Amino acid sequence: MTALRVCEGEQHQLREWLTLTGRKRVLVVAHTVAYGKRLAEVCSLLESDLRVQVVFSAPPHPFGDGVARLLEQLGSAVLPWEDAVRMEFDLALAAGPRELEKVRAPLILLPHGANFLKRVTEGADTRVAGLGRQDIVPEGRALPAAVVLPHRDDLDGLAHSCPEALPVASVVGDPVHDRMVASLPRRGTYRRALGLAKGQRLTAVVSTWGTRSSFGAIEALLPRLWELVGRNRRVALLVHPNVWSGHGARQVRAWLAQCAQRGIAVVPPEADWRTVLIAADAIIGDHGSVTLYGTLTKAPILLAASPEQEINPASPAAALARTAPALSPAHPLRSQLAYAATEYHRHQREEYATIAARITSEPGRFSRNMRRLLYRLLGLGQPAHPAPTPTLPPPPPLASWAATPHGRYGADTGTGVSA
């Protein structure tokens, strides 16, 4: 991780240490690991351009643990937040509202997960997370230069919650959707990289964060997962980075220590979960983004949690909650997964495809649309080549995601997105 220091806001002192000067400067505001992953995906559309210098900074956030490690893993140039807010930038990218009133740059505000799935209740007020006025113009900040939306239907939600932002709204698409779809043909490659033998079945157990998530009832779910482990069965547990940050990685590892002992892979928060999802034969999930992205695969989904009060009723997560079978405490997991698979192959395949289509109204076009927006706001012409949507790199083996005696994990890879 490269630290770029600025003394008392004297930007010329920064320039004295740089080899290439006179670049357009872009600030990436990485509040959390989840936000940082999404934004790293976006700024990759700029980073190879010699006319642009991208730097990251991490403002204070309750779920900020792990961001420094992520940025170090990315090899990013990093500014301390107290220095970043004293500088002016040509553009800033963010996926959350905290401290943005201090940023001195035209701002692009992006969602940090799939669509706008969750409702947030604060006192008597309920809003859709990411579309509320306090999400878009926090602390009286001026309107962003652009509010990025994944689907044209999100314009209706924005018109209801923050109509003054409609003129700066831009329907761009979803980067995770596009990379997963591009990578689906590599499923066999990912399964081999994970160490899955021919005929082995992989179940991905997925959790968002919060008391009503799958992890919120993990003490009841964990013992039931043991029945899914066997000679021809593997299990991977994917837990939202906010759980790791909120409770502390050491505590989460301790709670899940029996998973490693029983052969369940616990995927660390920095790792790229997307290839694991593509490789899975079944998904046990909840109302979070990762479960919704599971509709892009051919895996049947069993919902361990789908709290109506937390789900945006206009979102594809609400449609999934009405479609996917719900986990029952009274029946064996294996039989429930078999039922979910039968239902999927009999008549739910088209319903899942319809739900997946609601993730983005610009399928396959995020890179093109987003790069066009970035360069327009930077006042630069785009590079003379198509904006890429690369396939995902192979993951490390599931066996590498096992706790060591020192409490650290094996290989981490990728910059996937969780929500």
pLDDT for 64-113, tens place per residue? Answer: 999 999 999 999 899 999 999 999 999 999 999 999 999 999 999 999 88
What is the rounded average pLDDT of the residues 152-174? Answer: 96
The two tokens of residue 298 are 């051919």
- Report the range of poorest mean pLDDT among 138-147, 189-198, 409-418: 409-418
Q: Is residue 410 part of a domain?
A: no
Q: Over the stretch 284-338, which tens digit does the pLDDT of each residue have?
A: 999 999 999 999 999 999 999 888 889 999 999 999 999 999 999 889 999 999 9
In CATH, what number is assigned to the domain containing residue 143?
3.40.50
Kindly give, in sequence order, each residue whose CB lies less than 8 Å from that of residue 49, ignoring residues fewer than 6 positions away. 380, 383
Residue 405 lies in a domain: no
* Together in a domain, 196 and 91: no
CA 340 to chain centroid, in Å, comes to 26
| Token pair in block for residue 14 | 């920064």
Same domain, 144 and 18: yes
* Assigned domain for 389 exists: no
Helix, strand or coil, per DSSP, at residue 175: helix
Domain total in the chain:
2
- Contact criterion met (CB below 8 Å) for 366 and 309: no
Within-domain flag for 366: yes
Pairing between β-strand 125-128 and β-strand 119-122 as defined by DSSP bridges: antiparallel
Range of the domain at 250: 182-360
Same domain for 246 and 132: no
Nearest alpha-carbon partner for 294 in 114, 122, 171, 119: 114
- Helix-, strand-, coil-residue percentages of the chain, each rounded to 5: 40, 15, 40
Same domain (yes/no): 256, 368? no
Co-location of 134 and 232 in the same domain: no
Q: Are residues 169 and 187 in the same domain?
A: no
Give pTM, 2 decimals. Answer: 0.91
Residue 372 CA to residue 364 CA, distance in Å, equals 14
Q: Rounded to whole angstroms, what are the CA distances from 208 to 221, 285, 294, 356? A: 14, 8, 13, 18
pLDDT of amino acid 293: 97
CA distance 334 to 356: 25
256 and 299 fall within a common domain? yes
149 and 66 inside one domain: yes
Do 265 and 210 belong together in one domain? Answer: yes
Q: Are residues 234 and 112 in the same domain?
A: no
